[in-house]
Structure 1
């Protein structure tokens, strides 16, 4: 699939085999393993996110993009006996890097580290040796700022589950707390979880803001079926949330 910059990138969830050394956390590679070593049935794959990050701040286009898990409309939530989602909080004026993310409903309590893009133009994910950490795309908005802040994490490694293993189970209304270096905690509420197939990945829909003027959060990992021969997942899991409050760490 072509990235916005014109390069042809491996598909989402693809893992490149190494030569016995770690790949340094590139989004297009994984920590190398010696030949013949046992692997979990799920394997270890990573999301290769296309170049196209200039799309931050644009509205999502309508249609496509894979199934939505859960009805996030006000009418749909009321019909299901659920309370409406809270109102959006105004974006924060001060930019401050994220240091920690907590999603209590799925047991995520993780350090957030700064990441950029690799030589291929894909998001440079945390190394597999640090699969318990979440990477923040530091060239985009910080959590709490206007626009969509991007956080990426592994779903698993060859030996164990990783930080975003349960991300696909997140439901609308789930709370996410992101601690920032300035001491504030940006509180987000999930409004949708989508599974986006490799052939349906649309950078505008994934990276763009869902509603103009909001501070949003996008959490991404790989998901769907795992192809043990090609060493790829079939889809990406994309969780969209928006800022609904600000507090201090205590």
Structure 2
């Protein structure tokens, strides 16, 4: 989510959902443009709904390496990763609001580099502070994303596309559904500010495929 202070700061990090500071309470995605500068200080905590009907591909038990850092040079991201889980409602939780410099990996899903869609999410901002995915909406096709693993290896991905979607029409299947190869999804908040719900109205979703 994005706050007025973050917008006025006019700079970026990640969009912890445009950003890295917002989350999506129900299936949806975020916009390819930054949240409006008129948005008031916020505490949007909805990230992105984890798979409901689509059954996620579970991590490969034979692999012990786990992602520990995500690096996206084109938008200035070099952030540690924490593990994310779903809450009681089945919604993917956001990283802690006091650790805006961190993104999170959905630990019940695919491990980056394995077949399937690995999911990493982060805040866009929090009240008057920008967060790790503050500039996620700026990612363009061809951009490089590197995920560093606990065993010292690095898994590299190339961005295919960035899209913005309503938080209330989240594309669960395209984000969490099975894929024939190793892919990555980056999620944060974006779109117009919804005063009634006190959240950003969209999620920004970046789709990437493993590169050689």
TM-score band, normalised by the shorter chain? 0.7 to 0.9
Residues 26, 126 of structure 1: 8 Å contact kept: no
Please say if 1:215 is aligned against 2:171: no
RMSD: 2.5
What TM-score does the superposition give when structure 1 sets the normalisation length?
Answer: 0.64
1:158 positional shift:
0.6
Give the match for residue 170 of structure 1.
Answer: 139
**Alignment gaps of 5+ in structure 2:** 2-20, 26-38
1:104 positional shift:
0.5
What TM-score does the superposition give when structure 2 sets the normalisation length?
Answer: 0.75
1:119 positional shift:
2.3
Please say if 1:50 is aligned against 2:17: no
Give the match for residue 190 of structure 1.
Answer: 159
1:123 positional shift:
1.2
Give the match for residue 80 of structure 2.
Answer: 111
**Residue-by-residue CA offset, 1:10-38 (whole Å, 9 max, x unaligned):** xxx7xxxxxxxxxxx99579xxxxxxxxx
1:205 positional shift:
1.9
Please identify, of 43-52 and 231-240, the stretch whose mean Cα deviation from structure 2 is larger.
43-52
> Which portions of structure 1, spanning 4 or more consecutive aligned residues, are displaced by more than 4 angstroms?
25-29
Give the match for residue 105 of structure 2.
Answer: 136
**Alignment gaps of 5+ in structure 1:** 1-12, 14-24, 30-39, 58-92, 246-250
Please say if 1:41 is aligned against 2:16: no
Larger RCO (CA within 8 A; separation ≥ 6): 2
Residues 84, 92 of structure 2: 8 Å contact kept: yes
Give the match for residue 94 of structure 2.
Answer: 125
- Once residues 108 and 210 of structure 2 are traced to their aligned partners in structure 1, the CA distance between those partners, rounded to angstroms, is 19
Give the match for residue 160 of structure 1.
Answer: 129
- Once residues 129 and 216 of structure 1 are traced to their aligned partners in structure 2, the CA distance between those partners, rounded to angstroms, is 29
**Residue-by-residue CA offset, 1:81-120 (whole Å, 9 max, x unaligned):** xxxxxxxxxxxx8452100110000001100111212222
- Once residues 27 and 193 of structure 1 are traced to their aligned partners in structure 2, the CA distance between those partners, rounded to angstroms, is 17
Equivalenced residues, count = 176
- Once residues 95 and 147 of structure 1 are traced to their aligned partners in structure 2, the CA distance between those partners, rounded to angstroms, is 17
**Higher Cα Rg, which structure:** 1
The residue matched to 2:207 in structure 1 has which SS?
strand
